[in-house]
């Protein structure tokens, strides 16, 4: 279908988020990122606390419930590896957790002191040294220090890789340490250190560590789902999604997850309030997903067990990392659903809501992905610029400028209103 610019001339029904609403947004961010929520992870039931908080907010807003989730909660279960304690010392000096190093998310627990065995690319490519390593005894007494080239080489040398599985611990490096999650503990104690510590590690003779790990099986999680009924087409839906979970905590260090993704959840709540007061011809559903950070588990579960037919979704917008925006926004799937992207761009061209809009192709990087795979037209919007904190303890509410928050909020409202007027049907090319 052809979309013409005149469509937007009658719009302008959207009201930008007012100053008092941004104060409410800040309050939502502070709540979701509080120590009580413990990074919205799994050790201290932070994920569950966040889900119950959002269900209560849905109830206060007045959203309707679906028959299979009468309390707004769609349960599912997962397995996740967690760490109750992590300590690492180089030559007796304690390293700073989450700033100097992080344990690999799939690490097993353990403790002890290990001599360092440096495995660089020259070591593994020297056949005599390789033979010495294959014949080496008591490898469990060593911590292997590996560089990128040697790790790549090990993927092609199964004999050496099997031998090195006997190592008592592993160390590798990255430009910065970034937290992540894994379902199971399958590795020897493994630590990732920031690159600036490479020289210090090479000057060291041994490490000491203590890693207390617990694998949580059949852990209860929830998607939180509600909707505003449409005035003319209540059986067809526009959908807003955002994941509320984050990385939780390791020992006494927790990951607040302000931009990722308390920002998206706060905007989802503000949009729910707006559309509850200003219903569209189509119903608008709001889904806050759990377990995104451990492989999009919540959205996968939802797609496999939808509360209403996926074929009834006219369009889905997923919000993740929307707490900044000094440089504008990026639209994942913008190059897939080109007509929908043109509609979004034309609205912004007229209203100048954000600094710029850029389109990306398909990517499996947030909760829109499994919907797209099922043929549901979907965008994932994230903001660019501002705070660069990501999967670390510095992703705090006070670091977020909310520079594009009003603009993204208003752009989404105008986009949904335009979709309701045009009743378009978008499909993948």
- pLDDT tens string 147-197: 888 888 888 888 888 999 999 999 999 999 999 999 999 999 999 999 999
Whether residue 23 is found in the same domain as residue 58: yes
Residue 73 in any domain: the answer is no
Whether residue 359 is found in the same domain as residue 241: yes
**CA atoms of 37 and 47, how far apart (whole Å):** 7
**CA atoms of 360 and 357, how far apart (whole Å):** 10
Q: How far is CA 130 from CA 145, 199, 218, in A?
A: 15, 24, 43
Whether residue 317 is found in the same domain as residue 388: yes
Q: Which domain holds residue 257?
A: 5-64+229-422
Residue 250 maps to which CATH number? 3.40.630.10
Whether residue 119 is found in the same domain as residue 244: no
Residue 157 in any domain: the answer is yes
**CA atoms of 111 and 87, how far apart (whole Å):** 9
Residue 135 in any domain: the answer is yes
Residue 407 in any domain: the answer is yes
Q: Taking the model in full, what pTM does it have?
A: 0.94
**CA atoms of 316 and 313, how far apart (whole Å):** 7
Question: Does residue 391 contact residue 179 with C-beta atoms inside 8 Å?
Answer: yes
Domain count, the chain: 2
Nearest to 182 by CA among 157, 214, 147: 214
pLDDT of 425 > 70? The answer is: no
Of 182, 216, 250, the residue at which a domain comes to its end is 216
426 pLDDT tier (thresholds 50, 70, 90): low
Whether residue 190 is found in the same domain as residue 54: no
**CA atoms of 420 and 67, how far apart (whole Å):** 25
Q: Is the dihedral of CA 284, 356, 341, 336 positive or negative?
A: negative
Q: Give pLDDT tens digits for 107-159.
A: 999 999 999 999 877 766 788 888 888 899 999 999 999 888 888 888 888 88
Whether residue 361 is found in the same domain as residue 319: yes
pLDDT of 28 > 70? The answer is: yes
Of 150, 184, 216, the residue at which a domain comes to its end is 216
Whether residue 270 is found in the same domain as residue 416: yes
Angle at 55 between CA 249 and CA 230, to 5 degrees: 135
Whether residue 164 is found in the same domain as residue 33: no
Whether residue 268 is found in the same domain as residue 119: no
Nearest to 347 by CA among 18, 2, 15, 9: 9
Whether residue 123 is found in the same domain as residue 145: yes
Residue 103 maps to which CATH number? 3.50.30.30
* Assigned token pair, 113: 């002191």
DSSP structure class, residue 195: G
Residue 156 in any domain: the answer is yes
Adjacent-strand bridge partners of 25: none
Instruction: Name the region of 135 (left: φ>0; alpha: ψ -120 to 50; beta: rest).
Output: alpha
**CA atoms of 273 and 279, how far apart (whole Å):** 10
429 pLDDT tier (thresholds 50, 70, 90): low
Residue 333 in any domain: the answer is yes
pLDDT of 13 > 70? The answer is: no
Residue 71 in any domain: the answer is no
* Assigned token pair, 26: 């800040």
pLDDT for res 129: 83
* Assigned token pair, 53: 């908080």
Q: Give pLDDT tens digits for 67-78.
A: 999 999 999 999
Of 194, 216, 238, the residue at which a domain comes to its end is 216
* Assigned token pair, 178: 């970034």
Adjacent-strand bridge partners of 93: 90
Unique residue bearing structure tokens 């590798």: 172
Q: How far is CA 294 from the centre of its chain?
A: 8
Whether residue 171 is found in the same domain as residue 259: no
Whether residue 186 is found in the same domain as residue 136: yes
Residue 427 in any domain: the answer is no
């Amino acid at each position: 279908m052809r979309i013409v610019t005149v469509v937007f001339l009658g719009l302008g029904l959207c009201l930008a988020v007012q100053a008092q609403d941004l104060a409410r947004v800040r309050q939502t961010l502070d709540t979701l990122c509080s120590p009580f929520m413990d990074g919205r992870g799994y050790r201290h039931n932070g994920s569950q606390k966040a889900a119950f908080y959002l269900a209560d907010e849905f109830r206060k807003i007045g959203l309707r419930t679906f028959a299979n989730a009468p309390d707004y909660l769609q349960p599912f279960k997962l397995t996740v590896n967690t760490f109750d304690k992590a300590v690492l010392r180089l030559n007796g000096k304690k390293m700073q957790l989450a700033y100097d190093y992080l344990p690999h998310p799939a690490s097993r627990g353990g403790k002890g002191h290990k001599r360092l065995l440096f495995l660089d690319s020259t070591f593994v490519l020297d056949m005599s040294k390789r033979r010495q390593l294959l014949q080496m005894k008591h490898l469990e007494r060593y911590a292997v220090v590996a560089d990128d080239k040697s790790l790549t080489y090990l993927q092609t040398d199964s004999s050496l890789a099997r031998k090195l599985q006997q190592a008592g611990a592993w160390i590798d490096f990255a430009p910065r340490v970034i937290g992540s999650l894994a379902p199971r503990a399958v590795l020897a104690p493994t630590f990732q250190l920031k690159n600036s510590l490479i020289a210090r590690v090479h000057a060291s003779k041994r490490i000491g560590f203590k890693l207390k790990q617990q694998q949580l099986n059949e852990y209860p999680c929830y998607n939180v789902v509600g909707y505003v009924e449409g005035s003319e087409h209540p059986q067809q839906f526009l959908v807003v999604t955002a994941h509320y979970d984050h990385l939780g905590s390791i020992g006494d260090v927790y990951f607040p997850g302000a931009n990722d993704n308390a920002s998206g959840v706060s905007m989802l709540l503000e949009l729910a309030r707006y559309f509850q007061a200003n219903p569209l011809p189509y119903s608008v559903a709001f889904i806050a997903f759990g377990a995104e950070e451990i492989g999009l588990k919540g959205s996968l579960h939802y797609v496999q067990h939808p509360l209403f037919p996926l074929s009834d979704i006219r369009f889905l917008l997923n919000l993740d990392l929307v707490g900044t925006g000094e440089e504008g926004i990026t639209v994942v799937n913008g190059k897939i659903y080109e007509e929908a992207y043109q509609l979004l761009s034309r609205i912004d061209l007229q209203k100048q809501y954000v600094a710029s809009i850029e389109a990306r192709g398909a990517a499996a990087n947030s909760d829109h992905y499994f919907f797209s795979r099922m043929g549901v037209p979907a965008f994932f919007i994230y903001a660019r610029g501002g705070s660069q904190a990501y999967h670390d303890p510095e992703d705090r509410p006070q670091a977020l400028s909310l520079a594009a928050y009003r603009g993204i909020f208003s752009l989404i409202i105008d986009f949904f209103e335009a979709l309701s007027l045009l009743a378009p049907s978008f499909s993948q090319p």
